[in-house]
A = this chain, B = another copy of it.
Amino acid sequence: MSRVYAVCLLLLMSASLGAQGANSRAVIDIDNDWGYTESDATAPEALDTPATRWQSVTLPHTWNALDATDETPGYRRGAGWYRRTLNLDSYQSGRRFVLYFEGANTVADVFVNHSRAGGHVGGYVGFEVDITPFIRRGDNDVRVRVDNSDDPDVIPSDRSDFVIFGGLTRDVWLEVLSPVSLAHLEATTPIVTRDSARSHLVVEIANPEKRRGSYTVAASLRAPNGTEVASGRTSVAMTGEPTRALTMDLPPVRSPLLWGPGHPSLYNLVVSLSSGDGTIDRVERRVGFRWYRFEPNGPFYLNGERLLLRGTQLHEDFAGLGAAIPNERHRRDLEMISEMGANFVRLAHYPQDPEVYRAADSLGLLVWDELPWDRGGVGGDRWRANTRRLLEEQIRQNISHPSIILWSLGNEVSFIIETFNRGDTASVRGFMRELKSVAHSLDPARPTAVRQIDEVADIVDVYAPSIWAGWYRGVYADYEKALLDAHTKYPRMLHMEYGADGHYGRHSENPINGAGMRLESGYAESVGTPVANIARNGDWSESYQTDLLDWHLMVTERQPWLAGTAQWIFRDFPTPLRPENPIPYVNQKGLFTRDGKPKDAYYVYRAYWTTSPKFVYIVSHTWTERSGAAGKPVTVRAYSNCSSVDLSVNGKSQGDKSRVTSDFPSQGLRWDVNLSEGRNSVVAVCAGADARVRDSLDFNYTTAVAGRPSRIALGAKQLPNGHLLIEARLLDGNGRQSLGAADRLYFNSQGAGRLMVDLGTPTGSSVIQAANGYAAIEFVPPPAGKRAMIVARTQEINGARLDLVGSSVVPAEAKP
């Protein structure tokens, strides 16, 4: 993060701590100028050798940005060291210096001038280290040892289906404080109605020097328009206690502007601490007024009205970054979730970056916040103590965010490693009761939840059973039945996690249908083969993913009793558990690729969940080679939120179709059309007032069915970033692209230039399954005049090569 951005953050961000005058708090971004070295050393002085090579890094940073998605099994779980120089001479004497880490994965030890100043066990939550006793004049040497080794005493389990990225994966701040300062502030809204809203504050004062004296805590709450709507003040006589906690209840706000999706009204709370010398500290919080409930056997209500929770889920991950995501990206992710029409997001499977909650607050997105008790059963005493403490820290840190509606206490905790004998039902139930009690005592207002731990469904307040109709289990046409069955079983339920893997760019003229039948061709329902275990035996096409999600949305939108659902998952993400996925080690259930390219399924959501802006999308812009039987019409579909859409093919209208939610698939927006051999142009236009909303697509169509591939054709396409896209097409003996071919392509290069690999994306993996006989990889070309050679192979095809000089392909005839 840049310093400029940091300053803006200080001025603008809801949860940040405001700076005010020399006596007040200063909060300084120290993300830049760190050194990083990979070392398992435990003492900082062990690094004081010439052999240590410090790599210059800016935070956030993880050492697993690439290795989780390289071809080597596993990823590095071990220790890394960060080092930074901190010169504090410009501050007046008597100030206190605290480092605030938004998160370090998963165990941190902080050293100042080689003395241990503090640390933290457990990732994903913030912690502070008071370094005042360890600093000296001149440069101070700050070193942080971070370790993401598997530790059986620390959640999440090593069996988790995601990557536990190691490093200082979030921002680090230097807080410069008065000797007596505000240590913690919680602002909750225990009683909200349309008429009145109460704010409850918990204020903690830090006084490590055990000073004595009179202090005043003042609170001021301002409406979004800046008008002060409530205030309070209390005197505190400090008599040498190192800390002091107090509560304040502000006078009720009358006719509050309520917070919710579409109207994320946020009030601004300022709490200040003053002594005889004036204000010595000042902290701000954004406050949102809302109330909600999960009706037994019924839906979810927000502010007294039914709200169908339309959700998706998000990991802290992006291609090339891993979990070390800058705040701009976090905010953009939440905006994109909002833009797709969702009002609900599960932060899977751990508390996320503070910016995520700030964004959710300001966008009106409801949040399922989750303790990273993911798989692995119940551990021993140290594990229990750590897990309890991490839940306490998470709630304490996040309690003020209006967006959070649930504390999830875990996920799939009975998925244990077989050889790791822990987690019998009784101990899971017992420990879950403890956690629930911790949550309710710290935050009486919010319900608890878990997902897929049937043995504790009766313990938590809201339960999310596992229903994966048409993917891990059964067929998607059975989804409604499965949902209704769960409804009768679990009085307060949410359906978290449904979906299917979709390999970007893989499409099918005849995907497995809702009855689990693989049809021989087109939509002739008369012949088909039942597919058992579609996750294993399906084709992982976008077509199937799109159909499955389309069906799920059709079903969920018509359940008046339903609290809500959350699709799995917003964006593809890496996992060590899935080595043979089309993109190895990548969970491909995302609506977006790991680098943020939308799949067709994204438009299904926009069609169901948004009303504006209007759009129409022809399926599919990544399906530009199609084939079918001669003389047989081909189905072209579109997704749109317009009321009706006209489709024309090669200039000829195919008629206007009205959008009907219950008309699966694509809400009735599908046309059986006759295509020409070769190039076809399709245009879709919304009707009436939305006639400016349109989409067009050119694609090739053939009735000649290609055989098994026998060779690879390689080409290069210039990309806007100056790189080349190396495209591989699997061709049969007649030079036709084998649209059904899903062979794995293996790319490598020689000479100058560099393939973009280990990114876990459709154009950033050296090993990737073909999609409709096509695969591609991005290449950083060599400087002008330098030679490079790119080779692509499959197991069956020995290879093809592309020779380059600079960015230019050397034509075959020009070769020696």
Residues of A within 8 A of B (CB): 70-74, 77-78, 149-150, 152-153, 158-159, 161, 379-380, 382-383, 415, 417-422, 536, 576-581, 711-714, 744, 746-751, 766-767, 789, 791, 793, 795-796, 798-803, 812-813, 815-816
Contacts and interface: CB of A to CB of B under 8 A. Distances in A.
Given A419-B802, A815-B421, A793 B747 contact: no
A580 B766 contact: no
B815 A746 contact: no
A755 to B, nearest CB: 9
18 contacts: A72-B748, A74-B749, A77-B750, A149-B750, A152-B815, A161-B798, A379-B816, A417-B800, A418-B711, A418-B712, A419-B801, A419-B812, A421-B815, A577-B793, A577-B798, A579-B746, A579-B795, A580-B744
A-side interface mostly: loop
Given A150-B789, A158-B791, A801-B158, A421 B750 contact: no
A57 B761 CA distance: 39
A383 B422 contact: no
Chain copies in the assembly? Answer: 2
A74 to B, nearest CB: 3
Interface centre among A161, A417, A579 (most CB of B within 10 A): A417
Nearest to A536: B796
Contact of A791 (B72, B74, B750, B767): B74
Given A73-B793, A576-B748, 4 more contacts: A74-B750, A78-B750, A78-B751, A149-B751
Contact of A73 (B420, B577, B748, B798): B748
Contacts of A793: 73, 576-577, 579
Contacts of A800: 417-419
B70 A417 contact: no
Contacts of A813: 421
B419 A714 contact: yes
Contacts of A150: 750-751, 789
Contacts of A798: 159, 161, 415, 577
B766 A72 contact: yes
A490 B671 CA distance: 62
Contacts of A153: 816
Nearest to A792: B73
A729 to B, nearest CB: 12
A766 B816 contact: no
Contacts of A70: 71-72
A710 to B, nearest CB: 10
Given A415-B798, A801-B419, A816-B382, A72 B72 contact: yes
B816 A380 contact: yes
Contacts of A78: 750-751
A420 B815 contact: yes
Contacts of A767: 73, 579
A810 to B, nearest CB: 10
A39 B577 CA distance: 36
A469 to B, nearest CB: 20
B73 A72 contact: no
A816 B417 contact: no
Given A419-B714, A767-B73, A383 B750 contact: no
Contacts of A812: 419-421
A798 B713 CA distance: 36
A766 B421 contact: no
A70 B767 CA distance: 13
A382 to B, nearest CB: 7
Contacts of A749: 74
A340 to B, nearest CB: 30
